[in-house]
Amino acid sequence: MKKHPAGFRSITQRIVLALVLIILPFNIISVIVTIISLQNARQQMMTSVDNLLALSGQQLSGRMNAMNDFFYNLDSVYPAFRLYREQGERTADLAMAESNLASYFNMIVENDAFADVLFWQSGKYGRTYIGMSSLENDKCGRIFDCKEILKAWLETEEKGKYNLWGIVEIEGMTWLAKVYQYNDFYYGSLISLDEMEHQLKKACAYSGLEVSFSELNSGAAEQGRQTGTQPDGQPGEYPGRPSGKRLAVEKESKMGNFRMQVSVPLSQGYTNLSALQILCMGFVFLYILLIPVLIYLIHKMVLNPLARVSGAMERLKGGEQDYRLSTHPHEAEEFTAIGETFNGMADRISELRIANYEKELKRQEIELKNLQLQIRPHFLMNMFNLLYSFAQIESYQNIQKLALYLSEYFRYIFQSGKELQPFSLEINLIQKYMEIAEMRYPGCVEAVYEVDPEALETFVPPLLIHNFVENIFKHIVGYGRKIHLHIEAYTDGEETTFMIADDGPGMSRQMAEDINRGIFHKKEGERVHVGIENSYRRMKYFYGEKGSLTVVSEPGEGTCFTIVIPVESRTGAERTNDGAEREIQ
């Protein structure tokens, strides 16, 4: 089969390449647009959360600054505070100052919304005041219970650590605290970070919001607002809950010595996508998933039928003349038409091959019959001259022998073109021919026969060996001395070998080599060795390359022809022979 140069020669490769060139750019564009949409949605979520945290941070900073100013100016604005802070003797004025200060703190907590809790604690009098605004978060619970928890905390030494704003955890509640101390009098404010978290979640448009607060290392500088920071300060994502990644926004404050961090699931960034955007992204992913299905359908409906047609053509080309394409009920009508056309073409080719084969057989049969009818004129003339000579001398016995020989000779050569005869018939004809030759050339030829009995059963084309014997009398007898002829035949069960040797003048080496190559020359317009060529061509007709003819000759020493043919089926040959006998009779 001819090999094509490398490249996209297969229709499968070309279809796949066409699909890639047509579909892939649109897929790439769609994927890029989808990625950009997702990035925009994510950026929008980051900006929204960042703005929310920034606003909350500004509000918290404002509250802390307001509380710092409030306590800084409390002495000058409210003299009762200075009187009570001095912790003098408990007099009516001191009691009045305590009552007024409590009312003032309650008013500040309820109206100004700077602090969620204002408190003082007097170590000398053992009295604690806590003013607290209403909080909505669940952690603080009821105000009374929360006050009791805060009162217990104020009685500990831990409160003294918060001379600057800092985060304190009290019974599961998170507060931003600042505590002032004047001798054993403590006062200050608390801002509920739990409440701040609650308000952030209410204001945020994304669900799954998480808020955390953590202290900064001492001496940390104000870094302002940063978005999506890792612990190393680089923008990006950080691993949240095991359910997936989250987007984080942070704010750090030197004033409060704490860090606020807000995070939302990345998936929340896609909730604000429009229905059209979501539909387009869905179609993109669906189309990508459908590409293998498309390729499968193309294979099933187009490529597989084409492969069957191509395979059928290769098998027909390889010699499977009986192969035909089968049709499928669900196949496209175009491929059904191709299959029917292919089968019709294959039938036509088969018919043409059979017709050509039969025509060739007839031609060979005619050629074989022509070969068998090539009776050399000199042989016929010699036989008639010999018959005339016997008639002149009234040698009726020799005339009878010659007439019987010619009758058997002509009967033998006019057999069917495909008929094989046992060698026993041919050796019998050769012996009778030698008797006639002895009558014509008395004392000139002496023949010796060495024939294996099994070789007599070998079936050969008529006159295959006889022609070589005739050739000896044509070219050698009358040479001036007695010629010795040796005929030998033997078989090994698979091949039979015939040898015809004489001690005549021989032939040139060039002529012998030409005969061994199947070359027979012409001399003055006529062929030389017609009988040998006749036998050679009929041997090739019947046996092909299994039959061989070789000649060995030396000038002045003689010639030996060797013929080797395969042993034919005796049963088939006998059937042919019997039929031929009935025809002739």
Look up tokens 């359910």; give the residue. 243
Share in percent of the chain as helix, strand, coil (round to 5): 55, 20, 25
Dihedral sign for Cα 113, 115, 117, 120, please: negative
Tens-place pLDDT, residues 7-43: 556 666 777 777 777 777 777 777 777 777 777 877 8
Least confident interval from 89-103, 238-252, 436-450: 238-252
Where does the pLDDT of residue 330 fall: very low under 50, low under 70, confident under 90, or very high at 90 and above? confident
Average predicted confidence (pLDDT) for the chain: 76
Identify the three-state secondary structure at position 215: strand
Burial 518-532 (b: 16+ CB within 10 A, else e): eebeeeeeeeebbbb
Closest CA to 564 of 489, 468, 465, 495: 495
Q: How far apart are the first and last CA of the chain?
A: 54
How sure is the predictor about 230, in pLDDT bands with cuts at 50, 70 and 90?
Answer: very low
* Closest C-alpha among 138, 92, 95, 133 to residue 114: 133
Distance CA 245, CA 266 (A): 6
Q: Note the Cα 430 to chain centre separation in Å.
A: 72
- The C-alpha atoms of residue 38 and residue 6 are separated, in whole angstroms, by 43
Q: For 53, list phi and psi in degrees, rounded to 5.
A: -70, -40
The pLDDT assigned to 363 comes to 66
Q: What's the CA gap between 582 and 585, in Å, rounded?
A: 5
Element (H, E) at 498: strand 495-502
Using a 10 angstrom Cβ sphere, with 0-12 exposed, 13-18 middle and 19 or more buried, the burial of residue 348 is exposed
pLDDT at 112: 66
* pTM for the full predicted model: 0.46
Q: Percent of the chain at pLDDT above 70?
A: 79
What is d(CA 313, CA 322) in angstroms, rounded to the nearest whole number? 12
Q: Which of 86-90, 189-193, 311-315, 415-419 tops mean pLDDT? A: 189-193
CA torsion angle for 106, 107, 108, 113 (degrees, to 10)? 100
**Domain assignments of the chain as residue spans, ordered by start:** 73-192, 275-367, 376-584
Residue 487's pLDDT band (cuts 50, 70, 90): very high
| 494 touches 565 (CB < 8 A) | no
Q: What letter would DSSP give residue 563?
A: E
**Hey, how many other C-beta atoms are within 10 angstroms of the C-beta on 243?**
9
Report pLDDT for 236: 37
pLDDT given at position 277: 64
For every residue of 163-188, DSSP letters joined together read SS-EEEEETTEEEEEEEEEETTEEEE
pLDDT in the model for residue 570? 44
Q: CA 389 to CA 381: how far, in whole Å?
A: 12
166: nearest Cα among 158, 180, 178, 154: 178
CA atoms within 13 A on the CB side of 272: 18
369 contact partners, CB below 8 Å, separation of at least 6? 417
What is the token pair recorded at 282? 């869905």
Residues 376-584, CATH architecture: 2-Layer Sandwich (3.30)
Helix (H, G, I), strand (E, B) or coil at 518: coil
Residue 397 CB burial class (10 angstroms; 0-12, 13-18, ≥19): exposed
- In sequence order, what are the residues at sequence separation of 6 or more whose Cβ sits closer than 8 angstroms to the Cβ of residue 120? 84, 101, 105, 128, 129, 185, 186, 187
Closest CA to 466 of 377, 583, 563: 563
Q: Give the Cα separation of 25 and 387 in Å (integer).
A: 102
Task: Please tell me the distance from the alpha carbon of residue 112 to that of residue 115, in angstroms, as a whole number.
Answer: 8
- The secondary structure of residue 207, as a DSSP letter, is S
Contact status, residue 496 vs residue 565, Cβ threshold 8 Å:
yes
Among the ranges given (312-321, 428-437, 486-495), the one the predictor scored with the smallest mean pLDDT: 312-321
Percent of the chain beyond pLDDT 90? 8
- Predicted pLDDT of residue 271: 66
Interval 115-143: pLDDT, tens:
888 888 888 888 888 888 877 776 666 77
Which of 142-156, 325-339, 411-425 ranks highest by mean pLDDT? 142-156
Q: How would DSSP label each residue in 121-132?
A: EETTTTEEEEEE
Q: Which residue has the tokens 């095991």?
A: 242
Would you place residue 238 in the very low, low, confident or very high pLDDT band (cuts 50, 70, 90)?
A: very low
